Amino acid sequence: MAGDSVWVLGTSMTRFGRYPDLDAVDLGARVCLEAFTDGGVTVHDMDVMAAGTLFQANTSMGQRIQKQIGQTGIPVFNVTNACATGATAIRTVYLAIKAGEASMGLAVGVEQMGKMGLLAGGSKVEANVYEPSGRFGAVTSVDGVLGTATMPGVFAQAGMAYAYENDGVGFEQFAKVAYKNHLHSTLNPLAQYQKEFSLEEVMDSPVQSYPNTLLMCCPTGDGAAAAILVSEERLRSMPKRAQKRAVRIAASVLTSDPYVESGQVQPDVNTLTRNAASQAYEKAGIGPEDLDLVELHDCFATAELIHYDNLGLCERGGAGDFIDSGAPFRDGTTPVNVSGGLISKGHPIGATGVANVFEVTTHLRGEAGDRQIKGAKVGLAHVIGLGSSCGIHILEKAAA
Amino acid sequence: MPSTQQVPIVDYLRIGARPYLRASECGYCGARYFDRRNACAKCGRVEFKNARVSNRGVLRSYSIVHRAAPGIPVPYVSALVETDDGTTVRSNLVDCPSDPDHVRLGMKVRLTTYVTGVDDAGTECVAFGYRPA
Ligand SMILES: [Zn+2]
């Protein structure tokens, strides 16, 4: 075991859903306090804090949470990185510990979205007098004229590009992903939705952006998640029970999208995920076949399917066969999104990347209750934010 | 009488007798861009020349959009087209029913233009799309 590893000491998340009577600070403060309790520490043990939120990114979220949980004067990094915001908060604390500037830190991700509906794509604005503006010299809004920029559409196109290049991938394979994740969510009391739908119900639900139907799209919602990270040296000075429950971060990786030809019209969610995965596997010294569970970024069913391939969970080009074989179901060879995934657990954007680490950590500790993957020792948490940014954390159970 | 004034919806669409898309092409590595450039995202160089993008290509991906912002007519087909000279373009697939039975991955398409709106001064906005070839 590497002596300079960083460990997850404590963690917590709210159930994802709707909290109209609370604000984002309430949600963030709640999970921070719970994570302190979980780790057996207090705010006075923290050397550094990173707070992730997307829609309130300019509101000093970290400091606002500190004013509810304890203002100790430590440095706060307020971070934003689209849907990789939470993973970026974790990586920020990880880096501070790795750099030797901190021995324990707090990462929190929070979002209050309410019922935001369709994201991106903009609105229909008809100009009174056409005047070119912006980097494309557009004279009017182009969404719906020059294709789509909405999230369900962009990820639908990512999936259909994969279907064009590979056999055995179509509407039914994408639908199976959503069927699986809704099914998994019935065991997770923290999921926004906990309802099973048949494959037919998934396929027959209203089309948003073909092939993504409504039940193949993640909802918007509210929620928060927190994680306490600690250096190995400091962990060794802590009580045996804390050491036993701690989970080692075997890899922490963040990538952005390198140039690809098609990137200017269609965000490339593949290359940066592939790059992050290969770096993460190398750092952790493991391969995808060693993973006992994976929480990956299924913002849409089409996204999950292509990430089977991007993360190396299946043979190159084999994502259709992979879902058809049942491999990513919780009783399969590589359980994927046993939490219900973004599709059913929910996707309060800033919280998502921390919640994935919470989920994997909880399984590795053997504390996941009804949804526990028995004997899980290694797990991977993946998020991707369009723009683009990809975060991967590989976590390992403490040696007994 | 001169005909009605027309403007392209974006400046990389060149309208006239033979409409086409005009890209900024990196003078060093050949990467093509449709937006205003500061430097090349592929190689970092700063010299660009204009390039005429082929009007013909194949449908590499699509989505049939049923839900969009208010005022945008649905359903429509958002298409990713790879032109014969290797440039990826996004626009709507037009002159084709918006259902998976008619939209086929790999189908040959070609550029077309049409009037998509008129402003208060009577100027027409010309958009481009791709139709089955
Ligand atoms: Zn270049």
How much is the pLDDT for A127?
A: 66
pLDDT in tens, B78-88: 999 999 999 99
Q: Cα–Cα distance between A190 and A340 in angstroms, integer?
A: 10
Chain A environment of B31 (Cβ under 8 Å): 259, 261
Supply the CATH number for residue A91's domain.
3.40.47.10
Domain around A371: 6-115+219-397
Q: Are A157 and B59 in contact (CB under 8 A)?
A: no
Q: Cα–Cα distance between A173 and A180 in angstroms, integer?
A: 11
Q: Which residues pair with A378 in a beta bridge?
A: A396
Average pLDDT over chain A reads: 96
Residue given tokens 């007994």 in the structure block: A400
Query: Hey, of B13, B34, B67, which one would you mutate to test binding to chain A, going by the most A CBs within 10 A of its CB?
Result: B67
What is the pLDDT confidence band of residue B93, given thresholds at 50, 70 and 90?
very high
Q: At what angle do helices A349-364 and A85-98 cross, to 10 degrees?
A: 60
Tell if the CB–CB gap between A157 and B128 is shorter than 8 Å. Answer: no
pLDDT in tens, A76-126: 999 999 999 999 999 999 999 999 999 999 999 999 998 777 777 666 666
How close A131 gets to chain B, by Cα (Å)? 9
Helix or strand holding residue A308 (H, E): helix A301-310
Q: Cα–Cα distance between B76 and A59 in angstroms, integer?
A: 38
Tell whether the model's pLDDT for residue A387 goes beyond 50.
yes
How much is the pLDDT for A128?
A: 85
pLDDT in tens, A255-268: 999 999 999 999 99
Tell whether the model's pLDDT for residue A313 goes beyond 70.
yes
Residue A342 per-residue DSSP state: H
Tell if the CB–CB gap between A164 and B105 is shorter than 8 Å. Answer: yes
Chain A environment of B92 (Cβ under 8 Å): 144-147
Chain B environment of A143 (Cβ under 8 Å): 68-69, 72
CA dihedral A164, B55, A129, B66 (to 10 degrees): -20
* Alpha helices (runs of H) in A40-99, residue ranges in sequence order: 61-69, 85-98
How close B34 gets to chain A, by Cα (Å)? 7
pLDDT in tens, A367-386: 999 999 999 999 999 999 99
- B107 shares contact with chain A (CB less than 8 Å): no
Residue B86 per-residue DSSP state: S
Tell if the CB–CB gap between A156 and B66 is shorter than 8 Å. Answer: no
How much is the pLDDT for A115?
A: 76
The ipTM, to two decimals, is: 0.96
Whole-angstrom Cα Rg for chain A? 20
> Is residue A132 included in any domain, yes or no?
no
Tell whether the model's pLDDT for residue A184 goes beyond 80.
yes
Domain total of chain A: 1
Tell if the CB–CB gap between B60 and A164 is shorter than 8 Å. Answer: yes
> Is residue A315 included in any domain, yes or no?
yes
What is the pLDDT confidence band of residue B1, given thresholds at 50, 70 and 90?
very low
Tell whether the model's pLDDT for residue A2 goes beyond 80.
no
Q: Which residue of A has its CA nearest to B89?
A: A265
> Is residue A60 included in any domain, yes or no?
yes
How close B28 gets to chain A, by Cα (Å)? 15
Would you say how long chain A is, in residues?
Answer: 400
> Is residue A33 included in any domain, yes or no?
yes
Three-class SS of A241-280: HHHHHCEEEEEEEEEECCCCHHHHCCCCCCHHHHHHHHHH
Q: Cα–Cα distance between A214 and B6 in angstroms, integer?
A: 39
How much is the pLDDT for A123?
A: 66
pLDDT in tens, A320-353: 999 999 999 999 999 999 999 999 999 999 999 9
Mean pLDDT value across residues A186-198: 98
Which residues of chain B from 6 to 45 reach within 8 Å of chain A, CB to CB? 7-12, 31-36, 41-42
Q: Which residue of A has its CA nearest to B58?
A: A164
Residue A71 CB partners (closer than 8 Å, separation 6+): none
Name the percent of chain A in helix, strand, coil, to the closest 5: 40, 20, 40
- B96 shares contact with chain A (CB less than 8 Å): no
Mean pLDDT value across residues A166-170: 97
What is the pLDDT confidence band of residue A1, given thresholds at 50, 70 and 90?
very low
Paired tokens of A149? 């920029």
How close B108 gets to chain A, by Cα (Å)? 14
Tell whether the model's pLDDT for residue B67 goes beyond 80.
yes
DSSP A344-365: HH---HHHHHHHHHHHHHHHHT
Q: Provide the pairing of β-strand A104-112 with A222-231.
A: antiparallel
Question: Is the previous residue joined to B73 through a cis bond, with omega within 30 degrees of 0?
Answer: no
Tell if the CB–CB gap between A146 and B9 is shorter than 8 Å. Answer: yes
